[in-house]
Amino acid sequence: MKFTRREILTAFLGLPFALSACRSKSENTEVAGEIVGANVNVGHILREMRNVEVPPNNWENVKVAIIGGGAAGLAAAYKLNKENFGDFVLLELENKIGGTAQSGESNVVPYPWGAHYLPVPFQENTELIALLDEMNLTEGRDVKGELVVKEQFLCREPEERVFYKGRWYEGLYLHVGENEEEKRQFAEFQKQVDFWVNWRDATGRRAFVLPVANCSRDAEVLALDKISFGDWLRQKGFTSERLFWYCDYATRDDYGLKLDQTSAWAGLFYFCSRVRKSGEESQPFITFPEGNGRFVNFLHSKIKDKTRMKTVALEIIPTEKGVDVIYLNTETNEIRGLHCEKTIFAAPIFTAKYLIRDFKTNPPEFVKEFEHNAWFVANLFLKDRPKNRFPRDFPLAWDNVLYESPSLGYVNSTHQKGIDYGAAVFTYYYPMCAEENARAKLFALNHKELADIILTDLSRAHPTIRELTEKIDVMRWGHAMISPRTNFLWSTARDKAQKPFRNIHFAHSDLSGIALFEEAFYHGIRVANEILPG
Amino acid sequence: MNKTPLLFLNVIIIATCGLIYELLAATVSSYVLGDSVTQFSLVIGIYLSAMGVGSWLSGFLDNNLAKRFVEIELAVAVVGGFSAPLLFLTFANVSYFNIILYAMVFVIGALVGLEIPLLMRILKDEIDFKNLVARVLALDYAGALVASLLFPIFLVPKLGLTRTSLIFGLLNAGVGLWGTWLLENLIKPRDTNILRVKGFIIAVLLIIAFIKADALTSLAEDALFVDNIIYAKSSSYQRIVVTKGKTGYSLFLNGNLQFNTFDEYRYHEALVHPAFAVHDGNPKRILVLGGGDGLAVREILKYPSVETVTLVDLDPEMTKVSKSVPVLGELNKHSLEDSRVSVINNDAFVWLDSAETEPFDVAIVDFPDPNNFALGKLYTTRFYNLLKKKLKPDSAVVIQTTSPLMARKSFWCIVKTLEASGFSVKPYNTTVPSFGVWGYALAKLQPFETPSKLPENVELKYLNEKTLSSMFEFSADTNLPNEEIEINRLDNQALVRYYESEWRRFE
Ligand SMILES: Cc1cc2nc3c(=O)[nH]c(=O)nc-3n(C[C@H](O)[C@H](O)[C@H](O)COP(=O)(O)OP(=O)(O)OC[C@H]3O[C@@H](n4cnc5c(N)ncnc54)[C@H](O)[C@@H]3O)c2cc1C
């Protein structure tokens, strides 16, 4: 089925804007670039390749197989390697390591394809801090024992700006034109956040902290998971449009969900989990031009010889002695098998029902609770950065947000390198927010159509963007992130999924219900510890 | 009453106004774009041809000539009257300035071209053709003479470009308004009233603009163009303007004064020589960050011990201009062409982060003031830590640190930031009349004494040993303020915020 330009722009950018964009005769010219990402259709392979036989000579013995080279799988591998447990292999289906934290390289700067920052962890997150120390990102500890990260790795100011009605303003929350009532509500919202920042349960646990596993399970907090963040705001009497926008931006940005799709627990988690004490600023961000690509590439560098790229696990078969893993090398089309003692399952949880033999016929209830939403991410290679139209416009920041757009705007990769002139790479994010048929809608579009959506969207703020863009590459994340919608996080699904199934241990960040590097790392390390002898 | 003589008075006013607008446009464009021969020639050409177009168009106007005439006067009043302020504003804010300029010249020309033919046709019934042509044309040319004498002798020096433009707009509006009385019997009564209201509104607007002209001009004109522009060019990074005035030549980057020849030696001697004075040995390898005008390098090359100077300046256009514009080359003694000097065009932050070089003995850091984030990063702990890696234990560094009087907190913020980066710092200040009280910070990686001796055999116009030691004294209104001052880091850019709030007071 083919759509007209107007239909596509309406579907992605909304009707009024699409109409004006189509009227303004902005040329829908072809821009160079391609759709990137796994060149194999994994779903297709898994459906086609049922009951494959491994040629007898293609079996090997290895103690542990890790399925998936995202942050979680890599963290597990890194931990095993660190503890001198060398008998493992890691299977990754793509030709790039890192999963949703992968990155790319250009001759200007490297750039992210997904995850792009990590807030400085609290001192209690010792395992993650050890990684940051090892990566030489840290300077030491302050008097209270909190981590001090080197200046050049902390997000450089200006961090955020927002485009609203033709002008750029500093920050993310829109202060310009705010009336007294809106000011009051914003302050009141901060108070609510402070309440939960300071909240402790009977055993002294925080309501919201990273990793999620350390959050309190007190009924008062868990009740928040039963309503949407939007309902929670309304129940508290909030009405300010700009406050709703701010919270909606937060949930779209972190979870790929709209305000009314997100659980209030997850919404508050976003605002509270990175604030040490009420009144303090949220933890600063650690970031790199390539985003979290820096982390996964570092982890990978430690275990490179044990990774097998372009390999898809086809079937995981629990046996008497352990687990058999059958995989396909998508380059050579060779089918191989691994006799293992244990397997670490670090692929998205919903794929378990296609991979684990026992689940294929009889999938456990909890698997279908793990729902993902679709995103697309584009990298725009610009020969020069767009100039501000008005002298008083706030200058280009790291994160550049368009108030009136359903996209999240773009992150400027040259920012953290201190490059302020000339060529740049902008990473554009668009969450499809658990729309019906989002995935089908996304995959129905070709490169030209996607590029047109992106350029039309950005042209609100940057009328010259088409002339400046030399190339656009687009990544379609069909299953980008787990959705922390209401009644998922604190149902029993996550607890159940975390338990090993026979000799299969699950590690994907999905298990936290919240897609964050810290969570992926936590589960990777946790599972490695489960497996390590002693 | 015979109104004809009064209408002839109109001719002379119209003619004067017309030429004034032409002169204004040509002057503004040669001020801001440089190359006055080309600008005058282009503006005059476009203007005259547009007048031709206007005259030709007048042939298409058949009815209500008197009404049309008044309308055209009012249009000229608006477009011509506001032309100079509008040109200055657009120059400061848009990149396609030329197009706006030439379009405006064309419109004014065409409107002025309509005036005389219309007036002649209105007058043709009052006076016979022979006399009409003779008088109108004579007065037209006389008006031109009045304008060309008034413009350089009185208008530009006394009123300035913006006010001149507005005054003549007001004259045109006056002619229009007055026309509604003079030509009353040729215009329908209802139209008369509408025209009068319009004329009145336009006149009021022009008067308001005239009163507010100071605010308007200070947006661009006064800051940049009190003097004649001898060179102007927009690079990808900034707008470079060189002017010549009574006190000498000045360089402006984005409208900010970088130096004036009258006192730049004070600034540059104070910048360079104290750093050499606190270096214990004979400095050989010198690093200059910023300073694309070559004036700091001129001072550096006075030392025979200097073997290499590496100058890192963002803008290739700036370093090119410093070599190729004769007055600049003379002023910097062709320092950038010296065989010891190598010029690198890069952002100093990016260069420090990536370049592999031997360490330097002296580093001179001479950036524009931190008025935006891209400049602010050049004053951060990160920047100074990167700089440290290019130094030896006994190297000396000096940094221009804005005015401790105008931007006291900014000044001390830079000093604190240097200290936080592990430098031992001696701040100092001096007076550079073009700038006011100006500040610097001398820094080394080990504790050191304030310099008291200047090198022998180095010719200096300003510094002597007395001034040298007095520079390290701070007055009560410039010394470290008694309040907490943040350290400038990449992740807070505290300095840009201090600087903004401090300099905004003077805007
Ligand atoms: C657009 C976007 C932006 C994000 N931004 C941030 C951010 O700024 N900060 C942050 O902390 N988090 C962010 N996240 C979330 C973050 O990427 C994840 O939380 C974390 O990196 C996930 O790691 P993971 O290993 O759990 O999962 P994944 O990244 O999903 O990794 C799973 C891996 O398994 C592989 N795989 C799947 N099936 C098979 C198979 N059958 N055989 C072999 N291999 C297989 C996949 O190719 C993939 O590499 C973002 C995510 C997206 C999509």
CATH of the domain at A517: 3.50.50.60
Burial zone of B457 (CB within 10 Å; 0-12 exposed, 13-18 middle, 19+ buried)? exposed
Please choose from A100, A326, A356 the residue to mutate so as to test ligand 1's pocket, defined by most ligand atoms within 8 A of CB: A100
Closest CA to A306 of A461, A66, A89: A89
- d(Cα A341, Cα A331) in Å, to the nearest integer? 27
DSSP per-residue letters across A316-352: EEE-SSSEEEEEEETTTTEEEEEEESEEEE-S-GGGH
pLDDT in tens, B229-262: 677 777 888 888 888 777 888 998 877 889 999 9
B492/A157 touch (CB, cutoff 8 Å), yes or no: yes
pLDDT in tens, B389-423: 999 999 999 999 999 999 999 999 999 999 999 99
Regarding whether B271 and B249 lie in a shared domain, the answer is no
Closest CA to B425 of B411, B406, B409: B411
CB B161 within 8 A of CB B89: no
Residue A154 with chain B: CB contacts under 8 Å = 489-491
Q: Min CA distance, B129 vs chain A (Å)?
A: 53
Kindly report whether the peptide bond that precedes residue A110 is cis, defined as omega within 30 degrees of 0. Answer: no
For A32, residues 6+ apart whose C-beta sits below 8 A from its C-beta are A470, A471, A472
Identify the residue with better confidence: A72 or A441: A72
Ligand 1 neighbours by CB, cut-off 6 Å: A 67-73, 91-94, 99-101, 114-118, 292, 312-313, 346-348, 351, 355, 375, 377, 429, 477, 480-481, 508-509, 515-517, 520
Interface list for B 228-257 with A (CB within 8 A): 236-237
User: Which residue of B235, B345, B384, B490 is the best one to mutate when testing the A interface, meaning the one whose CB has the most A CBs within 10 A?
Assistant: B490
Residue A144 lies in a domain: no
Regarding whether A382 and A357 lie in a shared domain, the answer is no
Residue A533: the pLDDT is 87
Question: Which of A157, A284, A419 is nearest residue B373 as measured by Cβ atoms?
Answer: A157
Identify the residue with better confidence: B414 or B86: B414
Residue A152 with chain B: CB contacts under 8 Å = 382, 490
A420/B377 touch (CB, cutoff 8 Å), yes or no: yes
Regarding whether B337 and B243 lie in a shared domain, the answer is no
Question: Which of A154, A419, A421 is nearest residue B491 as measured by Cβ atoms?
Answer: A154
Which whole number is the average pLDDT over A369-391? 93
Identify the residue with better confidence: A484 or B138: A484
Regarding whether B305 and B449 lie in a shared domain, the answer is yes
- d(Cα A349, Cα A367) in Å, to the nearest integer? 7
Owning domain of residue A404: 5-30+372-482
Interaxial angle between packed helices B381-388 and B408-420, expressed in degrees from 0 to 180 and rounded to the nearest 10: 50
CA distances from B413 to A124, B275, B416 (A): 34, 20, 5
- d(Cα A96, Cα A155) in Å, to the nearest integer? 25
Q: Which of residues A482, A503, A522 is at a domain's end?
A: A482
Residue B222: the pLDDT is 45
User: Which residue of B491, B497, B501, B507 is the best one to mutate when testing the A interface, meaning the one whose CB has the most A CBs within 10 A?
Assistant: B491
Q: Min CA distance, B115 vs chain A (Å)?
A: 37
- What's CA B234's distance to the chain center, in Å? 12
Interface of A with B (CB under 8 A): 151-152, 154-158, 284, 384, 387, 390-391, 395, 417-422
Burial zone of B421 (CB within 10 Å; 0-12 exposed, 13-18 middle, 19+ buried)? buried
Q: Min CA distance, A405 vs chain B (Å)?
A: 26
Regarding whether A267 and A192 lie in a shared domain, the answer is yes
Regarding whether A504 and A434 lie in a shared domain, the answer is no
pLDDT in tens, A51-63: 788 999 999 999 9
Regarding whether B250 and B308 lie in a shared domain, the answer is no
pLDDT in tens, A79-114: 999 999 999 999 999 999 999 999 999 998 999 999
Regarding whether A507 and A447 lie in a shared domain, the answer is no
Neighbours of A16 (CB within 10 A): 10
Regarding whether B294 and B199 lie in a shared domain, the answer is no
Regarding whether A12 and A94 lie in a shared domain, the answer is no
What is the number of domains present in chain A? Answer: 3
Regarding whether A277 and A185 lie in a shared domain, the answer is yes
What is the average pLDDT score of chain B? Answer: 88
CB B134 within 8 A of CB B46: no
A421/B347 touch (CB, cutoff 8 Å), yes or no: yes
Residue B2: the pLDDT is 65
Identify the residue with better confidence: A43 or B378: B378
pLDDT over 80 (residue A7): yes
Closest atom of ligand 1 to A431 CA is: 1
Residue B227: the pLDDT is 66
Closest atom of ligand 1 to A518 CA is: 11
Rg (CA), chain A: 23
pLDDT in tens, A446-502: 999 999 999 999 999 999 999 999 999 999 999 999 999 999 999 999 999 999 999
What is the number of domains present in chain B? Answer: 3
Q: Which of residues A246, A263, A283 is at a domain's end?
A: A283
- CATH number of the domain that A428 lies in? 3.90.660
Residue B161: the pLDDT is 79
Q: Min CA distance, A389 vs chain B (Å)?
A: 8
Residue A387 with chain B: CB contacts under 8 Å = 95
Closest atom of ligand 1 to A507 CA is: 26
- CATH number of the domain that B235 lies in? 2.30.140.10
Interface list for B 452-491 with A (CB within 8 A): 489-491
Half-sphere exposure (CA, 13 Å, Cβ side) for A227?
A: 13
Q: Which of residues A230, A257, A283 is at a domain's end?
A: A283
What residue in A sits closest to B315 (Cα-Cα)?
Answer: A421
Residue B355 with chain A: CB contacts under 8 Å = none
**What positions of B carry a catalytic annotation?**
366
- CATH number of the domain that A195 lies in? 1.10.405.10
Question: Which of A151, A158, A421 is nearest residue B373 as measured by Cβ atoms?
Answer: A158
Q: Which of A417-421, B114-118, B155-159, B268-272 has the lowest mean pLDDT?
A: B155-159
CB A289 within 8 A of CB A109: yes
| Per-residue pLDDT band at A206 (split at 50, 70, 90) | very high
Owning domain of residue B193: 4-220
Residue A112 lies in a domain: no
Regarding whether A438 and A526 lie in a shared domain, the answer is no
pLDDT in tens, A494-524: 999 999 999 999 999 999 999 999 999 999 9
Regarding whether B125 and B104 lie in a shared domain, the answer is yes
Closest atom of ligand 1 to A480 CA is: 53
Beta carbon pairs, A and B, within 8 Å: 54
First-last CA distance in chain B: 54
Question: Which of B350, B372, B492 is nearest residue A418 as measured by Cβ atoms?
Answer: B350
Q: Would the pTM count as exceeding 0.90?
A: no
Regarding whether B377 and B285 lie in a shared domain, the answer is yes
Regarding whether A494 and A360 lie in a shared domain, the answer is yes
Residue A119 lies in a domain: no
Regarding whether B245 and B193 lie in a shared domain, the answer is no
Regarding whether B270 and B128 lie in a shared domain, the answer is no
Which whole number is the average pLDDT over A137-154? 96
pLDDT in tens, B190-229: 888 899 999 999 999 999 888 877 666 545 544 445 566 6
- Expressed in angstroms and rounded, the spacing between residue A92 Cα and the centre of ligand 1 is 12
- CATH number of the domain that B305 lies in? 3.40.50.150
Regarding whether B155 and B244 lie in a shared domain, the answer is no
Q: Whose CA is nearest to atom 53 of ligand 1?
A: A480
Regarding whether B325 and B253 lie in a shared domain, the answer is no
Residue A61 lies in a domain: yes
pLDDT in tens, A219-245: 999 999 999 999 999 999 999 999 999
Regarding whether A457 and A398 lie in a shared domain, the answer is yes
pLDDT over 70 (residue B92): no
Lookup: tokens for B28: 């503004």
Interface list for B 348-377 with A (CB within 8 A): 349-350, 353, 372-374, 376-377
First-last CA distance in chain A: 58
CB B88 within 8 A of CB B219: yes
pLDDT over 50 (residue B339): yes
Regarding whether B461 and B482 lie in a shared domain, the answer is yes
Residue A117 lies in a domain: no
Q: Min CA distance, A13 vs chain B (Å)?
A: 30
Q: Which of A3-7, A182-186, B280-284 has the lowest mean pLDDT?
A: A3-7
Regarding whether A17 and A91 lie in a shared domain, the answer is no
Interface list for B 85-124 with A (CB within 8 A): 92-93, 95
Residue A521 lies in a domain: yes
For A229, residues 6+ apart whose C-beta sits below 8 A from its C-beta are A247, A251, A259, A260, A262, A263, A264, A266, A267, A268
Residue B93: the pLDDT is 53
Residue B36: the pLDDT is 64
- pLDDT cut 90: percent of chain A above it: 84
pLDDT in tens, B22-69: 888 888 776 666 556 777 888 899 999 999 999 999 999 888 888 898
Residue A158 with chain B: CB contacts under 8 Å = 373, 493
Residue A218 lies in a domain: yes
Q: Whose CA is nearest to atom 52 of ligand 1?
A: A114
Q: Min CA distance, A380 vs chain B (Å)?
A: 21
Regarding whether A321 and A351 lie in a shared domain, the answer is yes
Residue A40: the pLDDT is 57
Regarding whether A495 and A472 lie in a shared domain, the answer is no
When mean pLDDT is compared over A234-243, B74-83, B93-102, B136-145, the highest value belongs to A234-243
A395/B95 touch (CB, cutoff 8 Å), yes or no: no
